[in-house]
Copies of this chain bind each other. A is one copy, B any other.
Amino acid sequence: MTDIALIGAGRIGKIHGANLARQPGMRLRYVCDAVPAAAADLAAKLGATACDLDGAFAGDVQAVVIASSTDTHADLILRGAATRKAIFCEKPVDLELGRARACAEAVAKAGVSCLIGFQRRYDPTFAALERRLGAGEIGEVEVLAITSRDPGPPPVDYIRRSGGIFKDMLIHDFDVCRWILGDEAATVYAAGSVLIDPAIAEAGDADTTAVTIRTRKGRLCQINTSRRAAYGYDQRFEVLGSLGMLAAGNHRPTEVSAHKVGGISIDVPEPFFLERYRAAYAAEMLHFAAVLRGEAQPRIGIEDGVRALEIAEAATRSWREGRVVAL
């Protein structure tokens, strides 16, 4: 039996906790949170014990799931490495590249697993597409076009602390780019505008972006992102290869279609990430548990978190300086 501590009892912590609680061979032992009552509540629901941070890294814990706020990630990873826990940490590793790299080094030196929460890699649609790519179904991969849009912008306060749209939102897309194209970014160009809310400009950020990544092998990736899609959370990509194209579409709540005077309509996509990636979050913990049981190699590591952050930094610079940035 592997004993696990969950750090963070917020929205995403609750999801990871519930998913972990069902895995054979895993015991969710502790839950801690900056708000002790939140930890107590969730612990009670999941049959675990509330604890403080020291408890989460105590000797009877073999693995930690870090789902606390972004600014705590790096410290917790370092502490996990120091105490030789297997680690699952929500993205991003850190907003600051230097610190993220330091974490990666510590993890490597400790020789522990450190999976980063890029949940899209576990999405049934995205993962099936990636498997089919790997099986050669469309030959050599050439072009990736990602559409990534939130249903609406977060509060400007959040944006101010977010590290900017490239580190906050596109970091997922940068990971998808590396994962799907199977190659590292060579150059990045990011155009960006504020078309939704001038307050976002005042916060020093963009709300609408168009990013181009050219990889070392010359593969091309285009990402178009917006903080607002009136029709819901839009998460799609298309991959062109020498033998055809594979496309990943949105998930919809139901398969009802309505045929009426004005048109034939289907459901809009799932409203936001909690719904869209519900299956992905479950598969993510399934995988983490398999890694902990020694049945699977980690599909993703802290170095993937660092690489995505490198692209995010380059994109931010590209956008600010209006020029192409080489990595």
The residues of A with any CB-CB pair to B shorter than 8 Å are 124-125, 128-129, 132, 137-138, 140, 142-143, 145, 147, 149, 187, 189, 191-196, 208-210, 212, 214, 218-222, 224, 226, 228-231, 234, 238, 240, 242-251, 253-268, 322-324
Kindly state the separation between the CA atoms of A189 and B187 in the bound complex, as whole angstroms: 12
Q: What is the chain B residue whose CB lies nearest that of A128?
A: B254
Q: What is the chain B residue whose CB lies nearest that of A190?
A: B212
* Given A208-B220, A218-B193, A257 and B246 contact (CB-CB distance below 8 Å): yes
A256 near B248: Cβ-Cβ < 8 Å: yes
Kindly state the separation between the CA atoms of A149 and B128 in the bound complex, as whole angstroms: 25
Which B residues are in CB contact (< 8 Å) with A247? Answer: 256-259
Q: Give this chain's copy count.
A: 4
Given A247-B258, A263-B268, 12 other A-B residues pairs in contact with their CB atoms under 8 A: A129-B254, A138-B230, A192-B220, A210-B212, A220-B224, A224-B240, A247-B256, A248-B254, A248-B256, A249-B255, A260-B268, A262-B265
Kindly state the separation between the CA atoms of A229 and B239 in the bound complex, as whole angstroms: 11
A210 near B220: Cβ-Cβ < 8 Å: yes
Specify which of B196, B248, B266 is in contact with A264 (CB 8 Å cutoff).
B266
User: Which 7 A-B pairs have CB atoms at the shortest separation, nearest pair first?
Assistant: A263-B265, A193-B218, A265-B265, A249-B255, A244-B260, A231-B259, A245-B259
24 A–B contacts, CB within 8 A, in A order: A124-B253, A125-B254, A128-B256, A129-B254, A137-B258, A138-B260, A140-B195, A145-B224, A187-B191, A193-B219, A195-B219, A229-B259, A234-B259, A244-B259, A244-B261, A245-B258, A245-B260, A246-B257, A246-B258, A248-B254, A248-B256, A263-B266, A264-B265, A264-B266
* Given A219-B193, A220-B224, A261 and B212 contact (CB-CB distance below 8 Å): no
A224 near B226: Cβ-Cβ < 8 Å: no
Kindly state the separation between the CA atoms of A267 and B267 in the bound complex, as whole angstroms: 15
Kindly state the separation between the CA atoms of A253 and B129 in the bound complex, as whole angstroms: 12
* Given A189-B191, A193-B219, A231 and B261 contact (CB-CB distance below 8 Å): yes
Q: What is the chain B residue whose CB lies nearest that of A225?
A: B143
Which B residues are in CB contact (< 8 Å) with A260? Answer: 137-138, 230-231, 243-245, 268
